[in-house]
Structure 1
C-alpha cells in the first residue's frame, strides 16, 4: 500500500469516527427526552483495489486486494420500545406498541411522533408542547367539550367524566408506516413520511397499533451505559487514525526531502 492510499484509509477512518461520535453525543444528550429513539451508524468497507504482479511481486495463485478504508453509512433509528414514566397529567399518553401519534406542523403537514406529552391550548385543542394540534377523530368539537376529568382507554377513545355523566368526545388517531425505514427525521423528535409510503391509521383494527396508556410517557430508549462505552471506544479509534495520519505525513516529508 502506498502512502497516498494510507492517507485515504486514515482519512476515511477519521471521518467515520467523527460521524459516530456526533450520533453518540446526540443520543446521550437526549437520554431524558420523551419518546426519543436512539440513532445508530453502521460501517462498511470501501471498495477494494486489486493488486497485480505489476504493482507488487505475487505468488501465482495469490489474490490480494487493498482496502480503501471504511465508510459510515446513513444513520438509522432504533425504534424499540422505551420504558414508561408515570406522570400526573391526564393528557400525557404513551404507546405500548409500534404506532405513532400524529400532529400538524405550522404548514398543516402531518408529522409522526412517539412523544405523547400533550395538553389543551387556549381554544381547547389537544396540542403537543410546541402548540401543534394532535390528530383526533372528534365526535364533539373542542369548544363544546364538557368540564370534567378526561379518561382515555387503550384504543385512544377519549371521554370526559363530569360527575355521573360520561361524554365520548373523540379518539386519538395512531399511525403506522409500512416500513419505519421510510420515516425521515424532522427534528424535535418528529418524523415525516417519505413520499409514496403507505401509512395505515387506527380507524380500523386499532389493536394492531399498540395500547395507549394514560398518565404515562415513553422514556428515551437510549442505553446510557452502552452509549458511554461506545463514545470511549470511538474516541480511541479516532485518536489512532489521527496518529496514523501524522505518521504518514512525517514519512511523506522524509520522501520529499529525498527528492529535493
Structure 2
C-alpha cells in the first residue's frame, strides 16, 4: 500500500482534532473566564532510507540523507491564559481578577479546584458559592441581615448590617497562582485542578506575591477572538480538503497501477 494513504489519513485526523478545538473555543466565546485552547502538532517518525553523512565510496561522503516522513499527530492542546476583558455588571458578588491568579473553590470530595469565573452568589446558608453551588475555600458567609457587601482590591470582604452603618469584616478572599497554569487539568464547570505539570498553588492575598487584584462588580470575559477562530476554521478546512485530495489521488494512482 502506498504510504501516502496513511500519511494523508493522519493529516485528516489531526485537522479534525483542530476543528474540534476551534469549535470548542467558539462555543465558549461567551463563557466567563474561559481561556482559548490551541492544538499542537508534531511530525511522526521517519523512514531512514539513506543515512546522512554515510560513505558513498572510499573517498566521498553523502551530503544529504533520504528520510521519508510518515505523517502528523496532535500531541497536545494548550491554553492561552492571557486576561479577558473585564465587563461591568454592577452586581456586588460578581468579582474579576485583574492580573494573575485563580479563585479557590471547595469541591464536594474535599479537594480544591481553581477558576477565573467570579460569578458568585449566596446559598441558603449565606455562603458565597459558584454558579454550580460550590463554596469558596475561604468559607465566606454573608449575614442574612446584611444590606450591602463590599470587596476591596485586596480581597477584604465587608458587610453593612441593618441598623449599623459601620461595615464589618466578614472574611478574606484569597487567590492562588501557578508556575505553569497551562498545566492545570480542566474538569468542566469553568474549573481547573492542580496537576504535576502545573506545580503547587501559591495562595495569598490579592495584590501580593505577583497575584492580581480583584474587581467587585466586574466579570472577566473569555479571551476568544472570534475573527481569529473563523480564520483558523477556514485554514483547517482547506488543509483537511488537501489531505482528502491526496487520498483520492493515491487511490487513482493505485487503480492505474492495477491496470498495467
- Aligned equivalent of 2:253: 251
Residue-by-residue CA offset, 1:237-259 (whole Å, 9 max, x unaligned): 1011011112212322333454x
Residue-by-residue CA offset, 1:118-169 (whole Å, 9 max, x unaligned): 000111110011111112265xxx2646512111011111001245211000
- Aligned equivalent of 1:190: 191
- Aligned equivalent of 1:130: 132
Q: Are 2:45 and 1:44 equivalent residues in the alignment?
A: no
CA distance in 1, matches of 2:126, 2:218: 21
Partner of 2:18: helix, strand, or coil? helix
Partner of 2:20: helix, strand, or coil? helix
Structure having the higher helix fraction is 1
Cα deviation for residue 109 of structure 1 reads 1.8
Residue-by-residue CA offset, 1:205-233 (whole Å, 9 max, x unaligned): 73621010000000000011000000011
- Cα–Cα, structure 1 residues 223 and 204, in superposed 2: closer, same or farther, change >3 Å? closer
Residue number among 200, 224, 227 corresponding to 2:226 in the alignment: 224
- Aligned equivalent of 1:94: 96
Partner of 2:252: helix, strand, or coil? helix
Partner of 2:236: helix, strand, or coil? helix
Query: Aligned residues, how many?
Result: 249
Partner of 1:44: helix, strand, or coil? strand
Cα deviation for residue 182 of structure 1 reads 2.7
Q: Are 2:234 and 1:235 equivalent residues in the alignment?
A: no
CA distance in 2, matches of 1:223, 1:40: 12
Cα deviation for residue 52 of structure 1 reads 2.9
Asked if the contact 2:86–2:96 (Cα under 8 Å) also holds between the matched residues in 1, the reply is: yes
Residue-by-residue CA offset, 1:70-126 (whole Å, 9 max, x unaligned): 222210111001001110210000001110001122323211000000000111110
Partner of 2:136: helix, strand, or coil? coil
- Aligned equivalent of 1:121: 123
Asked if the contact 2:35–2:80 (Cα under 8 Å) also holds between the matched residues in 1, the reply is: yes
- Cα–Cα, structure 1 residues 147 and 122, in superposed 2: closer, same or farther, change >3 Å? same
Q: Are 2:5 and 1:7 equivalent residues in the alignment?
A: yes
- Cα–Cα, structure 1 residues 133 and 176, in superposed 2: closer, same or farther, change >3 Å? same
- Aligned equivalent of 1:178: 179
CA distance in 1, matches of 2:41, 2:255: 31
Asked if the contact 1:137–1:173 (Cα under 8 Å) also holds between the matched residues in 2, the reply is: no
CA RMSD in angstroms, aligned pairs only: 2.2
- Aligned equivalent of 1:168: 169
Residue number among 70, 76, 101 corresponding to 1:74 in the alignment: 76
Residue number among 28, 31, 35 corresponding to 1:30 in the alignment: 28
- Aligned equivalent of 2:157: 158
Residue-by-residue CA offset, 1:14-36 (whole Å, 9 max, x unaligned): 01100100000000010111000
Asked if the contact 1:9–1:69 (Cα under 8 Å) also holds between the matched residues in 2, the reply is: yes
CA distance in 2, matches of 1:143, 1:153: 15
TM-score, structure 1 length as denominator? 0.88
